[in-house]
Amino acid sequence: MKFKLYKDQCEINDYLDFPMFGINSNYLSPDNRSHYDDYLPEEMRQRFEDIEEALESFKPLIEQFYFRTFSLANICRRIESIFNYQSIETYIEAIRSYDNQTFKYKVVQVLLEEVEEANLEEPGLIQKVIDDNHYITYINKLSDDGKEKWFLMQLLDNPMGMVETWLGLLTSLNPLYLNYKGLYQGQALDYGEDMIDKLNASQGAYLKDLSDGLVDKELILSGVILVSWVNSLSILLSTNSHPQYMVLGYQIEAFFENMRLVKEKANLDKITAFKNLGDKTRYRVLKCVAEGIISTKDIAEIIGVSSATISYHINNLVTSRLLHHNKVDGKLKLAVNRSWIDQLILSLKEDFLQ
């Protein structure tokens, strides 16, 4: 298989998804958001926050059209392939050319493709679902949240009216889009060209290395690759389009590398903590502090060593985060770092008891 970067479609794809920056913090589930925050380099985090702030005034309108599954951008890509067009303008013109009846038919088809029990080979099924307003039943079968279901109801009630409002939003955002495109698209396309060389040189095996084993080359049924500066931390597989394609965020390698470094440091932190817990004297010092005995002199007398030795052990326990200093009544007081010990216990369970 030969991999190829489709630059025109990269731009169309990013243009359609650009408004998602306006709901970046809401678009990810809390679990995913905290996962990203753990590994997100500061420069990337700042960029997301800057663009989200620039789109703040558009947020109420953006939230009407962008969701995890059935954003209007995703629906349009399913209805009208971006690979049939070479520019944003011609793609938008094609979407705008639909009439209400045809677009509604296409939306119901997309909806039924997402519902496992729908038999799309049944003759006349889509039109029957429309005529009987039965699409409401299928919408209710979706696992998506209430706002997304309500959006689908509105879209099927007034298809091209909703489309025109969404296209108006894209037009309003165009100056901001062009500004950020100028900053990041060149970097993204350069990354894409380099990635294509790596994929072709490795016959696709580089995908597995890139994604830390999450994506294997067998998942890619075509060599069609898009690169994105909007979805800059994503590896997205589009299996319901013709052709099927993969979108690679241009910062995904930097993200995975930072993830590796953070995990490496976390493992070193854990090892350091357990080494300190394995030292008999330091364990006894920690136990004294847990019991409220924080005077170096008192701890030295209990254990039977010098105060200097205790100070040395306390410094190591603080460095390994097992002890820390709390501010009490304006004074620093030595205490057991309970939250870090809780994390260590949790990591032990995750590593060995799953």
| d(C-alpha 132, C-alpha 124), whole Å | 12
Note if the pTM is more than 0.85.
no
Segment among 32-36, 47-51, 86-90, 141-145 with least mean pLDDT: 32-36
Out of 199, 228, 257, pick the residue that ends a domain: 257
How is 63-96 classified by DSSP, letter by letter? Answer: TTT--SS--HHHHHHHHS-GGG-SSHHHHHHHHH
| d(C-alpha 308, C-alpha 296), whole Å | 8
Query: What percent of the chain shows pLDDT beyond 70?
Result: 91
pLDDT tens, position by position, 47-104: 888 999 999 999 999 999 998 778 999 999 999 999 999 999 999 999 999 999 999 9
pLDDT tens, position by position, 230-271: 998 888 888 778 888 999 999 888 888 877 777 788 888 888
Yes or no: say if 22 and 55 are a contact pair by the CB < 8 Å rule.
yes
| d(C-alpha 185, C-alpha 205), whole Å | 26
Residue 180 tokens read as 């950020």
Yes or no: say if 100 and 160 are a contact pair by the CB < 8 Å rule.
yes
Out of 211, 226, 257, pick the residue that ends a domain: 257
Number of domains in the chain: 2
Q: What domain range includes position 232? A: 4-257
Same domain, 178 and 307: no
Q: How confident is the model at residue 26 (pLDDT cuts 50, 70, 90)?
A: very low
Same domain, 86 and 153: yes
Degrees to nearest 5, angle at CA 288 with 283 and 289: 100
Amino acid at 51: I
Query: Between the CA atoms of 122, 128, 132 and 133, what dihedral angle is there, to the nearest 10 degrees?
Result: 90
| CATH label of the domain that carries residue 314 | 1.10.10.10
Yes or no: say if 185 and 14 are a contact pair by the CB < 8 Å rule.
yes
Between 32 and 236, name the one with better pLDDT. 236
Residue 180 pLDDT more than 50? yes
Domain assignment present for 271:
no
Residue 107 tokens read as 């939306």
Residue 317 tokens read as 């326990």
Cα 187 from chain centroid (whole Å): 20
Residue 30 pLDDT more than 50? no
Beta bridge partners of 238: 245
pLDDT at 165: 98
Mean pLDDT of the chain: 87
Contacting residues for 216 by C-beta, under 8 A, at least 6 apart: 207, 208
Q: How confident is the model at residue 144 (pLDDT cuts 50, 70, 90)?
A: low
Yes or no: say if 25 and 32 are a contact pair by the CB < 8 Å rule.
no
Domain assignment present for 115:
yes
Same domain, 109 and 46: yes
Same domain, 326 and 231: no
Beta bridge partners of 247: 226, 236
